[in-house]
Every structure is written in C-alpha cells, then in structure tokens.
C-alpha cells in the first residue's frame, strides 16, 4: 500500500466511524525547520476546536509492520483531542489573564526557521531562537500546544519581554528539568535489560519531565551551573534534538572535532527533520558561567 492508498484507507475508516456531520479537511501546515506537512483537520459537529492529525508518522508505523487496525485506533484517539481542547476556544485566548499561566518556551534553529521567525515573537540565542507557546491540556495522545504569533501579542497587548518573563516562571512549574546519566536513561528505556558498561564515555541527558521540547532546559535559571556542579567538570553540550541535549565532561574528550562529526551524523541518520536543533556543539565553562558555540572559543 503506497502513501496515497494509506490516506484513502484511513479517511474512509474515519468517515464510517466518526459521528455523522464530522468535517474532515487536509491542510498544509508549516512545522519546525521549514518542513511543510499535510495535516488532517477533524471537526465534530457543534465543536469549535479541531485537532490536526499528521498521517506521515502513522504511515511509517504501517511500513514498519504495525497493523492497520492498531493505527486506526490511535488516530481515533487523536480525534478525541477536540473534547479536551473545547475549553480553549476564542473566549479563552482573547484574554491574556487566561493564557499567562500556560506560556512556556522552546528552542529552535534560527537559520532553518527564518520565515517562521518573521511571524512569531522570539529571542535570538547563539545559533538558536527562543520561541513561545501555550502548554494546554495533556491529552491521551500527548500535550496540546499552541504556538504564539505576533498577532497574539497584538490581541493581548503584550511584548516579547512579557512573554519571556512569564515563560521563565512557568517552565519551572510546568516542565521541571531532569538530568540523568546516559546509563540511567538506557536502563529505563530497556526496562533494565541494557547497560552501556563501565568503559563507556560518561554522558548525561538533560530534558524536562515530559521529555518533550526539553532542550530549552538549558535556559532555566542556574541550570547549566547546577549541571557543572553535578558533573564536577566543564562540559560540551550536544544538541541531540529539540527534545533533549547531551552533556559530555570536558576531561574525557581529547578531540572535540569527533563530537561535531557525531552530532552531524546523528542529525542526518537518526533525527526527524522537524526535530533537528543544530549541527553545532557548545561548551559550558563554570569559570565564566557562559555557554558558547565551540567555534567561538
């Protein structure tokens, strides 16, 4: 079954299964790093909010051997997102007092998102950009989020500085940071069946409690200083993806060029285009308290 046949199969199933009067439309949406994906908008009769479902990842699961019926069930779960999003209609978003407790930030690549950045509030940071979004209900299939645009700022009569101030406070409450050794992470993912071994290079993974868009944890007040204290060393910071970063103690690396090659290879072979953060690596010095692009040193 090719992709178009897969899409036809899914939409036919949804038409037969969802309540009469449900509207379904395909719309192109710009995602991270300039990637445009076709989204399936599903709106049930009488509801103001419509979730958007991206079918490409599900087609990938189908090609990997997942059954169509299992995929149908997962997509139906996505359609239920609209029930959780109903409280977040226009009335909610018209007043910044409602929105303020939900405002958080994430990191994206600056160069790869120049067109998008022209339309959204942002703060440049090294080769990256800090952008803002609303973290809403946690649904059965993930977190509901809304990217904040310049038009939102005009509606709310707020500045980028206001968003940054509120986001700095909210991330600590909504998305607390987690720093774990790579050994711990792999052991958790494999239910204790795998281990890197004693001879492996010590590495640490920094992300947030939801493990979504967790690279932004490097912005938290005092975070990098605290990581250096826990690691007991200066460290290289590898942008694993928009979801997490990897910290490598300086003392165990003899040639940083190997790290650059590793990051680029991982981005090209293991990270989705929409989840790549950067091909650069960074260095944090406890003495200066500054994170720098390696090429700046």
Determine the Cα–Cα distance for residues 95 and 68; give it in Å rounded to an integer.
42
What pLDDT shows up at residue 184? 85
Left (φ > 0), alpha (ψ -120 to 50) or beta: where does 167 sit? Answer: alpha
pLDDT at 141 over 50: no
Burial annotation 123-134 (CB, 10 A radius, 16+ → b, else e): beeebbbbbbbb
* Sheet strand arrangement including 177-181: 177-181, 204-208, 244-249, 235-241, 282-285, 290-293
What pLDDT shows up at residue 196? 54
DSSP per residue over 11-74, as a string? HHHHHHHSPTT-EEEEEEEE-GGG-EEEEEEEE-TT-S---EEE-HHHHHHHHTT--HHHHHHH
pLDDT at 74 over 70: yes
Element (H, E) at 143: strand 142-147
What pLDDT shows up at residue 291? 96
The H-assigned helical ranges of 176-289 are 182-189, 223-231, 257-269
Tell me which DSSP letter residue 276 carries: -
pLDDT at 218 over 80: yes
pLDDT at 73 over 80: yes
Answer positive or negative: Cα dihedral of 285, 289, 291, 294: negative
What pLDDT shows up at residue 254? 81
Average pLDDT over the chain reads 87
What pLDDT shows up at residue 85? 54
* Mean pLDDT along residues 93-113: 94
Q: Sorting pLDDT into bands at 50, 70 and 90, what band is 83?
A: low
Determine the Cα–Cα distance for residues 10 and 24; give it in Å rounded to an integer.
12
Q: Sorting pLDDT into bands at 50, 70 and 90, what band is 165?
A: very high
Burial annotation 24-44 (CB, 10 A radius, 16+ → b, else e): eeeeeeebbbeeebebbebbb
pLDDT at 260 over 90: no
Over residues 186-209, the pLDDT tens digits come to 877 766 555 555 556 789 999 999
% residues pLDDT > 70 (the chain): 88
pLDDT at 52 over 70: yes
Domain segments of the chain as ranges: 3-85, 90-174, 177-296
* Mean pLDDT along residues 160-179: 97
Comparing 52-61, 72-81, 120-129, the range with the smallest average pLDDT is: 72-81
Residues 6+ apart with CB under 8 A from 38: 26, 27, 28, 29, 54, 55, 56
Comparing 117-126, 169-178, 186-195, the range with the smallest average pLDDT is: 186-195
Token representation of residue 76: 């139906």
Over residues 29-44, the pLDDT tens digits come to 788 898 888 888 888 7
Q: Which residue has the higher pLDDT, 189 or 4?
A: 4
Which pTM was predicted?
0.84
Determine the Cα–Cα distance for residues 39 and 29; give it in Å rounded to an integer.
7
pLDDT at 120 over 90: yes
* Mean pLDDT along residues 281-294: 94
Q: Which residue has the higher pLDDT, 154 or 266?
A: 154
């Amino acid at each position: 079954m090719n992709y178009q046949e897969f899409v036809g199969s899914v939409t036919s199933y949804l038409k037969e299964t969802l309540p009469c009067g449900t509207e379904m439309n395909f719309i192109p949406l710009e995602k991270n790093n300039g990637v445009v994906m076709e989204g399936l908008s599903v709106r049930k009769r009488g509801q103001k909010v419509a979730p958007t479902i991206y079918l490409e990842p599900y087609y990938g699961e189908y090609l990997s051997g997942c059954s169509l019926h299992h995929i149908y069930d997962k997509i139906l779960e996505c359609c239920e997102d609209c029930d959780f999003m109903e409280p977040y209609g226009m009335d909610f978003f018209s007043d910044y007092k409602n929105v303020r407790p939900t405002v958080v930030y994430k990191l994206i690549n600056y160069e790869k998102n120049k067109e998008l950045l022209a339309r959204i509030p942002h703060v440049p940071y090294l080769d990256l950009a800090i952008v803002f979004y609303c973290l809403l209900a946690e649904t059965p299939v993930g977190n509901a989020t809304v990217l904040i645009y310049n038009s939102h700022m005009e509606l709310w009569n707020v500045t980028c500085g206001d968003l940054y101030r509120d986001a700095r406070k909210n991330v600590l409450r909504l998305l607390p940071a987690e720093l774990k050794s790579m050994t711990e992470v792999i052991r958790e993912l494999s239910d204790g069946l795998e281990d890197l071994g004693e001879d492996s290079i010590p590495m640490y993974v920094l992300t947030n409690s939801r493990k979504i868009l967790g690279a932004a944890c490097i912005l938290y007040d005092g975070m990098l200083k605290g990581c250096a204290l826990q690691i007991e060393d200066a460290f290289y910071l590898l942008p694993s993806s928009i979801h997490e970063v990897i910290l490598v103690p300086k003392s165990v690396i003899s040639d940083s060029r190997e790290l650059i090659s590793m990051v680029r290879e991982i981005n090209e072979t293991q990270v989705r285009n929409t989840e790549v953060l950067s091909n650069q690596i960074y260095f944090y010095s406890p003495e200066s308290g500054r994170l720098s692009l390696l090429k700046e040193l």
